[in-house]
Amino acid sequence: MISVEEALEKVLALVEPLGTERVALRSALGRVMAEPAVARLTQPPFSASAMDGYWIAAEDHKPGATLRVEGEAAAGRAYSGPLAPGQAVRIFTGAPVPAPGGVVVLQEHVTREGDTITLGETLETHDNIRPQGQDFAKGETFCPTRALTARDLGLLAAMNVAAVTVRRRPVVAIIATGDELVMPGEEPGPDQIICSNSFIVAAIAESAGAETRMLPIARDDRDSLRTVFDLAKGADLVVTSGGASVGAHDLVGEVAQELGLERSFWKIAMRPGKPLMAGRMGGAAMLGLPGNPVSATVCAELFLRPMLARLQDLPAQTRTREAELACDTGPTGPRTHYMRARLEPGTPMPRVTPCDNQDSAMLSVLSDAACLLIRPKDDGPRRAGEIVEILPLR
Ligand SMILES: Nc1nc2c(c(=O)[nH]1)N[C@H]1C(S)=C(S)[C@@H](COP(=O)(O)OP(=O)(O)OC[C@H]3O[C@@H](n4cnc5c(N)ncnc54)[C@H](O)[C@@H]3O)O[C@H]1N2
Ligand code: MOO
């Protein structure tokens, strides 16, 4: 059995960054830019007032000074009349300042009578002016190496960029396998259960930027598996769950190989998740998750997320953190153990407690867990207070 680290290297070698496409800004949330966007204007394009008040020349900025209001500047409507010392311009937030070398006095610091204003006795030292280009300059580029956020879209819009070049979304085909499975909402037979894995895998894939195709459940027979694999054609990544182990009805590996799977590995020194398989098949990468829901989830977190990141040309990320063990915990066996665990706040790091039941079929425990506590293989018992590694779950 290969190690988790080796398996990660191998799954990453199965994928490479996808091609690009142009999308309108409104469709760019969560996408990864593949070409820099270039600011088409300077922001702000002019020096602008940051407050509602009066613009005056700097030399008139003295406590008690009296000035005459000559006109008005509002956002979208500049004042363009002549100006002489002793004159003021009523100005509003966002309006271009009438001339360089002035200040904006807040209206709260001014008394107005007719067209005359008198400045207060205590004045701010700040000029309340946003200099031209303080945010960005025309020609500056923007190309973050992460999925675009709401804030990024605001910046791109302000740069007058209406469309961006992004990586194509990875298309993930999701196949649950098993005679025992029916979909949520259906009536299970007495020996059946509801398919949960496909919903976990789809949610993880979509949160990592993929487009998903949830295919019909494949039954534990060769024909059904072949049919559903055929439906997966055109996907960048085919993710199966179940049928990965050694039982008489575990046919996923066999059928995939008949259909041309070039297997990279099968079985890894990891708990849960031992029967994980991966390879390339008909132009797509293939990830064969174990059937137990916790095993499928842990494998998706550890391998599917990084594969999707690579398909979108995102840099590899360290997602693990340190935590302090909140209780004693026993030794581990020959596989790295990803224990479902709860977190509580702590200083200088959070405190982690493994959940009591580590059965890889327990969805209620999985849902309750905030992280995976990573225990190295062949590790001795660990005492409360020791520092350990965790993988936070989203
Ligand atoms: N003799 C051995 N038996 C098993 C071994 C082994 O090494 N030797 N490995 C165990 C481990 S570890 C795991 S993990 C499981 C994984 O087996 P499969 O990938 O073949 O999964 P299935 O047998 O199809 O299913 C296991 C379990 O999960 C349930 N399941 C399957 N798909 C779904 C789904 N979409 N939604 C919800 N639940 C699902 C299924 O009903 C089974 O209960 O093998 C051990 N056995
Ligand atoms: O490795 Mo299995 O995934 O322990 O349940």
Q: Would you write out the chain's pLDDT as a tens digit for each of its 394 residues? A: 999 999 999 999 999 999 999 999 999 999 999 999 999 999 999 999 999 999 999 999 999 999 999 999 999 999 999 999 999 999 999 999 999 999 999 999 999 999 999 999 999 999 999 999 999 999 999 999 999 999 999 999 999 999 999 999 999 999 999 999 999 999 999 999 999 999 999 999 999 999 999 999 999 999 999 999 999 999 999 999 999 998 898 899 999 999 999 999 999 999 999 999 999 999 999 999 999 999 999 999 999 999 999 999 999 899 999 999 999 999 999 999 999 999 999 999 999 999 999 999 999 999 999 999 999 999 999 999 999 999 999 9
- The whole-model pTM stands at 0.94
Whether 135 is in a domain gets the answer no
CATH number at residue 385: 2.40.340.10
Q: Which residues make Cβ contacts (< 8 Å) with residue 133, sequence separation at least 6? A: 42, 43, 44
Q: Could you tell me if 39 and 150 lie in one domain?
A: yes
Q: Give me ligand 2 centre to Cα 292, in Å.
A: 7
Whether 163 is in a domain gets the answer yes
Is the shortest distance between the CB of 292 and ligand 2 below 6 Å? yes
Q: Which residues make Cβ contacts (< 8 Å) with residue 147, sequence separation at least 6? A: 30, 31, 32, 209, 312, 314
Q: Could you tell me if 386 and 356 lie in one domain?
A: yes
Whether 280 is in a domain gets the answer yes
End-to-end Cα, the chain, rounded Å? 28
Q: Could you tell me if 183 and 114 lie in one domain?
A: no
Q: Could you tell me if 71 and 35 lie in one domain?
A: no
Q: Could you tell me if 215 and 292 lie in one domain?
A: yes
Range of the domain at 271: 4-17+169-311
Q: Could you tell me if 182 and 242 lie in one domain?
A: yes
Q: Could you tell me if 177 and 224 lie in one domain?
A: yes
Q: Could you tell me if 69 and 158 lie in one domain?
A: no
Q: Could you tell me if 217 and 327 lie in one domain?
A: no
Q: Could you tell me if 173 and 163 lie in one domain?
A: no
Q: Give me ligand 2 centre to Cα 294, in Å.
A: 8
Q: Could you tell me if 301 and 380 lie in one domain?
A: no
Whether 30 is in a domain gets the answer yes
| Cross-strand bridge partners of residue 66 | 118
Is the shortest distance between the CB of 241 and ligand 2 below 6 Å? no
Q: Could you tell me if 182 and 299 lie in one domain?
A: yes
In which residue are the tokens 């182990």 written? 245
Q: Are 376 and 332 contacting, i.e. CB atoms less than 8 angstroms apart? A: yes
Is the shortest distance between the CB of 290 and ligand 2 below 6 Å? yes
Domains held by the chain: number: 4
CATH number at residue 203: 3.40.980.10
What are residue 364's phi and psi, to 5 degrees? -65, -40
Whether 316 is in a domain gets the answer no
Q: Which ligand is located closest to the Cα atom of residue 299?
A: 2
Whether 107 is in a domain gets the answer yes
Whether 99 is in a domain gets the answer yes
Is the shortest distance between the CB of 241 and ligand 1 below 6 Å? yes
Calculate the CA 283 to chain-centre distance.
Answer: 27
